[in-house]
């Protein structure tokens, strides 16, 4: 019994010491893992991508289809939707048909790589003949001898724009347009959205061995209520998103992260 009474103050002291521990949140710049030692390369050879053209088309959001089925029960609402569809049919489905996706992408990556890479960035005139060649080492090994200290940057891409139609309620329209909610406006109406989608399969290849050092797939989407939003602007914004992730891996860029430091 005396031993228990003797140990009690010690246990209380230890518990008080543990309770006094506090933690502090700190921010650290931690480099990202990179499978590429970029320092061993003297130049990056940028080969034009294989471009798959997307045809814009009018589409409906799946959730809107269920709403549309319910609205068919109401003949008056059905007539209103028909009238609105006729008005929206006049909206242009391809705002900028002259946009050269290949040229825009090559120009973008050549500029951004030139800013970040300390060596030379060289552009090839001919695009990649086939996507299957990415994983054929013998094709890359057959390139010119000056490609030994080079890194191949290529892949395939698809960029499309489309007009999607959906039935939105008043609150949804308010959030989407970032405007003041019209309490006296219609409860719901047929709305259009301009949707841009960029799909990219990028590969970085060491031609000396034909090894694919890095391969990433991207699918980025931008949705805007502005039916006249330029496709060139949307493509640039989507490429910016891709670059943020891709360059972090290629160059091992630092990324701010939060950690907890235990203090006593």
- Per-residue pLDDT of 224-242, as tens digits, reads 999 999 999 999 999 999 9
Q: How much is the average pLDDT of 29-53?
A: 82
Q: What is the pLDDT of residue 165?
A: 85
Domain ranges of the chain: 2-263
What 3 state SS string does the chain have?
A: CHHHHHHHHHHHHHHHHHHCCEEEEEEEEEECCCCCCHHHCCEEEECCCEEEECCCCCEECHHHHHHHHHHCCCHHHHHHHHHHHHHHHCCCCCCCCCCCHHHHHHHHHHHHHHHHCCCEEEECCCCCCCHHHHHCHHHHHCCCHHHCCEEEEEEEEEEEEEEEEEEEEHHHHHHHHCCCCCCCCCCEEEEEEEEEEEEEEEEEEECCCCEEEEEEEEEEEEEECCCCCCHHHHHHHHHHHHHHHHHHHHCCCEEEEEEEEEEC
Q: What is the pTM of this model?
A: 0.66
- What are 125-183's pLDDT values in tens digits? 888 999 999 999 999 988 865 666 899 999 999 999 999 887 776 666 555 455 554 54
> Where residue 192 falls among pLDDT bands split at 50, 70, 90?
confident
Q: What is the pLDDT of residue 12?
A: 58
- What are 45-73's pLDDT values in tens digits? 999 999 986 543 433 334 334 434 545 55
Q: What is the pLDDT of residue 229?
A: 94
> Where residue 122 falls among pLDDT bands split at 50, 70, 90?
very high
Higher per-residue confidence, 242 vs 36: 242
């Amino acid at each position: 019994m005396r031993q228990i009474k003797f140990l009690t103050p010690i246990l209380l002291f230890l518990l008080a010491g543990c309770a006094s521990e506090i933690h502090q949140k700190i921010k650290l710049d931690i480099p990202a893992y990179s499978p590429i030692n970029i320092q061993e390369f003297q130049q990056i050879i940028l080969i034009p991508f294989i471009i798959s053209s997307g045809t814009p088309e009018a589409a409906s959001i799946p959730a809107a289809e269920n709403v549309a089925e319910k609205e068919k029960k109401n003949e008056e609402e059905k007539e209103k939707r028909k009238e609105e569809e006729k008005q929206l049919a006049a909206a242009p489905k391809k705002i900028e048909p002259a946009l050269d996706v290949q040229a825009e992408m090559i120009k973008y990556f050549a500029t951004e790589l030139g800013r970040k890479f300390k060596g030379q960035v060289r552009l090839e005139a001919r695009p990649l003949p086939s996507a299957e060649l990415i994983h054929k080492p013998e094709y890359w090994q057959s390139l010119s001898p000056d490609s030994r200290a080079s890194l191949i940057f290529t892949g395939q891409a698809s960029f499309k724009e489309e007009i999607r139609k959906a039935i939105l309620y008043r609150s949804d329209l308010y959030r989407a347009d970032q405007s003041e909610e019209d309490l006296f406006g219609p409860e719901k109406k047929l709305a259009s959205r301009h949707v841009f989608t960029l799909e990219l399969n990028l590969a970085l290849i060491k031609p000396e061995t034909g090894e694919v050092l890095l391969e990433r797939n991207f699918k980025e989407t931008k949705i805007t209520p502005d039916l006249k939003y330029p496709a060139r602007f949307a493509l640039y914004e989507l490429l910016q998103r891709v670059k943020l992730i891709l360059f972090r891996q290629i160059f091992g860029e630092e990324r701010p992260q939060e950690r907890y430091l235990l203090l006593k």
